[in-house]
Amino acid sequence: MDYETLVNCSVAVFEHYKTNERKIFIVHDLQDEFDALVEFLKQNKAKKEWHISYNGLAFDAQISHYILANHHLWMALSAGEIANIIYNYAQKCISKSKSNSFQDYPQWKMSIGQIDLFKMHHWDNPAKRSSLKWIQYSMDYDNILDMPIEHTTMIETKKQLDTIIKYCINDVHSTKEIFNKSQSQIKLRKALTKKYKVDLFSASEPRISKELFAYHMSKKLNISKYEIKKMRTHRDVIKLKDIILPYVEFNSPQFQLMLERFEILELDPYNLKGSFKYAINYKEVKTQFGLGGAHGARKAGVYESDDEYIIMSSDVTSFYPNLVIKNKWSPAHFPADEFCDQYEWFFNERKKIPKSNPMNYVYKIILNSTFGLSNDANSFFYDPELCMRITVNGQLSLMMLYEMIMERIPGALAIMQNTDGIETRIPRIYKDDYLKICKEWEEITNLNLEHDEYKKIVLADVNNYIALHAFQNVDIQEWRNLKKKKPHYLFKVFDNKFLYAKTKMKGRFNFYDLALHKNKSKLIVRKAIFYYFIHDILPERYLETNRNILDYCIGGKSKGNWKQIARSIKNGEFIEKELQKINRYYISNEGPKIIKTHKDDGREIQLEAGRWKQTLFNKMCIKPKWEGYDVNINYYLKGIESEIDNILSVPANQLTLF
């Protein structure tokens, strides 16, 4: 469902989640269906029907319940006057949402059940914030459409009404598509709601974590959930020397100095972000340290296993949860034994349950979210010292393993170190020694490592790389199943054996199973790089085979006082057309230039700098022949070769298969 509210017009569209049954209600002097809307909402309430929306809890649901609560006061008013009341209330809701103020109708007061997909996917989080239009782009929706009429416009004609209705229906259809893509998440929340007797249908993963942990801790401590949720530990200062684990020690001067830098830190708990940065150069690798973790990588390049060398990857099993469990840490306001017992129970329960079981995912959420919530002042996990215990000791412990391997394995080559693991190329003859060192580290830290072997790492930097695992042998049926489910893996038949190799793509090289809030622009570039390094296919050959126009598309967005215009030249004159806030386009041989302009000072930014022209593709139009799209292949080829050049350090015009 969706509402559109303008100064003298309100439109509401509802469509059944299983069928195409649709209800449209217009509140306007030309067409007054307000009474029918009220009766429909009453029917929803009486039948315990639910509303599915995008950002509904802060907007659409507020309007529904405002209408239900006040409609009897408006009986003598015209449709236009009622629409204006609804409009003013809608603006009030928007204002409250922007200022993070409480809305008039919290979810527990609502008489119509709500599934808010915006909240459920945590797209209200600053790091993931996404409008419905951006999600339309991300899921390749066939019509990315902004409201074509400004909300302050006085609606006077039937044509204007039809335009609003068309837009509202488009929003409802795209919301329905998100809903259909979210079925596993909704079924999970339905089961949790039933089990724990709390409405979790619109709950984000962190909220699920809080609710379930509060439920279990309430039972364990015999304290009400209400009291649990009020708990916090506030601190004036965090002295790292008091919380660094006693086993942390180093032999090399670089790491010893790094440890000293940590030990002298006294932190302001309310200003942790970015308050500490430090870097060392060790074994030709620069490693960056902060309060959140350490990361480092060798220079860009392709690193491979061969007959003489092997690339080992070692990750700490459930690193942060196990640091908490093994060291008996807890927020200071909880008894450590009870907290860790409960935390370990979640960990052990997850191990018993297959990954196909939704509860496995629930326990994973709880285990992983707790760390982040320890530094969230709105959470009952809040104790910033616990957060620092985890992140600081985590990186120091991992650096111990890094140093032990590099100092004791002759010929070891460090490739990457990140939050919970390291990748190292070592001579094959020292593999057993490598594993013995890892075992020794496990005994020191009381943590566990999981090992893997890589055939190849294509490295741009620590956040952007492709890793190809070593081949594994499976039976023919499993091999066929994997080919269907994991088309990005590498498959081959050799010596009557059916082999596959997993691939791992990070950052700007990832094109498979992207989260909807991520930017999927120019997937063709990511795919071509993958096929070049993993399948030995030259970029120009790959571009000849990929005829999916959506892989060539780019998402352009503008915020605040910026707007987008399409500028072209006709008969020597500039022609400008104002565009919507979010646009899908691709680079073409002919077409306009899309420019972002500032409404106040006139500043301009080209979405694609240089001579490149664009074709808008907001409304999907599939051409019978590829040539009809007029794609400028040179633009994409240049982007692909530039990325490959950064990795291989060869001129882009000299690419060959290595």
Domain membership flag for residue 337: yes
Same domain, 493 and 435: no
Beta strands in 326-448 (DSSP E): 413-417, 421-427
pLDDT at 576: 92
How far, in Å, are 7, 105, 202, 490 from residue 93 at the CA level? 15, 10, 19, 51
Domain membership flag for residue 421: yes
pLDDT at 620: 94
- Give the H or E element holding residue 215: helix 205-221
Domain membership flag for residue 528: no
Same domain, 285 and 171: no
Same domain, 166 and 259: no
pLDDT at 655: 43
5 phi and psi angles, rounded to 5 deg: -120, 125
For 180, other C-beta atoms within 10 Å of its C-beta total: 10
- Can you say whether the dihedral through the CA atoms of 263, 264, 268, 274 is positive or negative? negative
Domain membership flag for residue 621: yes
Same domain, 186 and 259: no
Same domain, 307 and 434: yes
**Contacts with 620 (C-beta within 8 Å, 6 or more apart), sequence order:** 140, 142, 143
What are 641-658's pLDDT values in tens digits? 999 999 997 444 444 443
SS3 62: helix
Q: What is the number of helices (H) and of strands (E) in the chain?
A: 19, 28
- Choosing from 444, 468, 492, the residue where a domain stops is 468
SS3 375: coil
Same domain, 486 and 569: no
- Choosing from 166, 196, 226, the residue where a domain stops is 196
Give CA 1 to chain center in angstroms: 25
Same domain, 491 and 564: no
Domain membership flag for residue 485: yes
Same domain, 175 and 283: no
pLDDT at 339: 95
Same domain, 191 and 245: no
Q: Please tell me whether the overall predicted TM-score, pTM, comes out greater than 0.85 for this model.
A: yes
Same domain, 446 and 488: no
Same domain, 564 and 461: no
d(CA 411, CA 430): 9
**Which residue stretches of the chain have pLDDT < 70?**
650-658
Domain interval for residue 482: 471-501
Domain membership flag for residue 531: no
Same domain, 292 and 384: yes
- Choosing from 139, 166, 196, the residue where a domain stops is 196
Q: Spell 287-297 as b/e; 16+ CB within 10 A means b.
A: bebbbbbbbbb
Domain membership flag for residue 164: yes
Instruction: Find out whether 390 and 323 touch, Cβ atoms under 8 Å.
Output: yes
pLDDT at 658: 36
Q: How many domains does the chain have?
A: 4
Domain membership flag for residue 223: no
Which CATH number characterizes residue 304's domain? 3.90.1600.10
